[in-house]
Chain A
Amino acid sequence: MRLLLLMFAFCLTLPAHAELRYTLQPRQIADDVWLLEGSTDNFDKANGGNIVNTGFIVTAAGVVVIDSGPSRRYGEAMRAAIASVTDRPVIKLLLTHHHPDHVLGNQAFADVPIAALAGTTELLREQGNAMAENMYRLVGDWMRGTEVVLPSETLAPGTLEIGGRSLRLLALRGHTGADLAILDERSGVLFAGDILFYQRALTTPNSPGLDVWLEDLDTLEALPWKRLVAGHGPVADDAAPFVQMRDYLGWLDGLLRDAASGGADMNEVIQSPIPERFAGISLTRYELIRSVSHLYPRYEAMALQRVDE
């Protein structure tokens, strides 16, 4: 009986012991510019969706935060991580785009303006609840208490002067139709959002087209950046992420085009060989399966003609 009670007590206390905790270690990547680097894995119950890069810039007026992670719990851990390196208050959150891993932690920033492109707010309004639901399914308990919060401020492209720093804001479209990139002009750090994936396969659920995305890469690469922060993957000081993105997007575009003009069915396309040179990129097969679902119908429509009479 005593043993039984003990076991019972153990079961009761288990959830407290198994407290889910994000380990967020801010890394300084330039003067007053900090990065919280996520893994290049897929969402799962072990990582709580910490597969994304977020960051913050400490200005004279306070801290400007870039993306808020996948969950309320992440957002709260992020606030604590910020407080561990600066006493300055958080004054603004910038969201690069509406995808759940970048925005759903924004509840923890409800006390400051949450700013995004108009298109991002619109997409979040349309798709936020479904995306949050999907995140609960993928990472489970990490999401507890997470709800969609819409941005409170609309960003326009141009220069945001804040706390003595100039942040150049670019409105791009290739990844979701509303993609913000942020260049900190003083340090040359470019927060590219998900216009850049590096060593992690890019995702296409809302892409208006791979050609649009390729144009965005030209726009970004032409900026006076010194250090690149991709939405997913390691920091780079050279153009390697651009080279990899162009190579990968070009391959994907060509694969889908050739498959459609050869009359291939979706199941044939998802089994296509993935070139050896992409072996270092994580999740290529998984994302190919997804991208075929997102994009192949458009390539098919281009390869087929009206035949009804």
Chain B
Amino acid sequence: MSVRVLLLLMVFHAPSALAAEADPLQSVMWEYHHKGLLNSEPYVFDERVKVQVPPFAEDSRQVPVHIDARALGDEVVRIEAWADPNPIPRIFTFTPGEQVVPLVAIRIRVEQATPIRAAVLTRDGVWHIGSAKVDAAGGGCTAPSVVRAQPGWEDRLGEVIGGRFARGDFSRLRLQVSHPMDNGLVGGIPEFFLNQAELRDADGQVLAELELYPAVAENPSLSLEVKGAQDTRLWLRDNNGNEFEAAL
């Protein structure tokens, strides 16, 4: 082995050995969000937290994000999701109860190429971080509203289309809500977005809580999974106090 190759190998090996907990995506924003969103609490980068995004955003206003922490099983307490450099980084906070699977699929807006993070808090107080990167021409956060350009959108506000799909022992719930999800960054239109959702059982008991932030795309698309085949209802509220409900 030549000296040059040896040197090269050393250069490549040294950092990975030194920094086991270094951000695998090397985002300059990691420490900032660790402090701001995770309150500087203990964390590990954990490949069991699967974040799936397309390699590039064909439409920066509707980027699909699929977060799956099933490998952490019943230890999951809460999931925080965000896009590192977005003007509005936060995507959602998800608190699944015992009957709900730690899995969320949702579509978001991105302003530029970005890491997408899912931080999964387990019962022992540790955050397990999963990441993925999506390339983007960008501008999704500041693009004019598609919903508001459609005549009569106000009449459709809060309409929900949805379905329930068997997935082995689970049921996947998919739905899409008509809502402009104004993020306050476009054309002087103030923030107007769905910020709260609850999945409830037939008796109104809360099965899971979901807080949403305006990084979520217009007409939000959402997939969740529940154990068994019980009837569920989704309750939604926006920051103007409008409430909507759907049966799944």
Contact = CB atoms under 8 A, between A and B. Distances in A.
B163 A305 contact: yes
Interface residues of A, number: 25
B105 interface: yes
Contacts of B45: none
A270 B162 contact: no
Interface in B107-165: 107, 137, 158-165
Interface string A78-99: 0000000000000000000000
Contacts of B175: 304, 307
Contacts of B176: 300-301, 304
B161 A263 contact: no
Contacts of A303: 163
17 contacts: A262-B165, A265-B223, A266-B64, A267-B52, A271-B52, A289-B55, A289-B56, A290-B58, A300-B176, A301-B176, A304-B174, A305-B161, A306-B160, A307-B161, A307-B162, A308-B160, A309-B246
Contacts of B221: 300
B165 A267 contact: no
A184 B170 CA distance: 59
Which applies to chain A's interface (DSSP): helix, strand, loop or mixed?
Answer: helix
Contacts of B137: 134, 137
Contacts, number: 78
A307 B248 contact: yes
Interface residues on chain B, size class: 20 to 34
Contacts of A301: 161, 176
Given A263-B165, A289-B56, A303-B163, A309 B245 contact: yes
Contacts of A134: 137
A31 interface: no
A74 to B, nearest CB: 22
Interface string B40-53: 00000000000011
B134 to A, nearest CB: 11
B62 interface: yes
Interface in A252-303: 262-263, 265-268, 270-271, 289-290, 292-294, 297, 300-301, 303
Contacts of A300: 174, 176, 221
B175 to A, nearest CB: 7
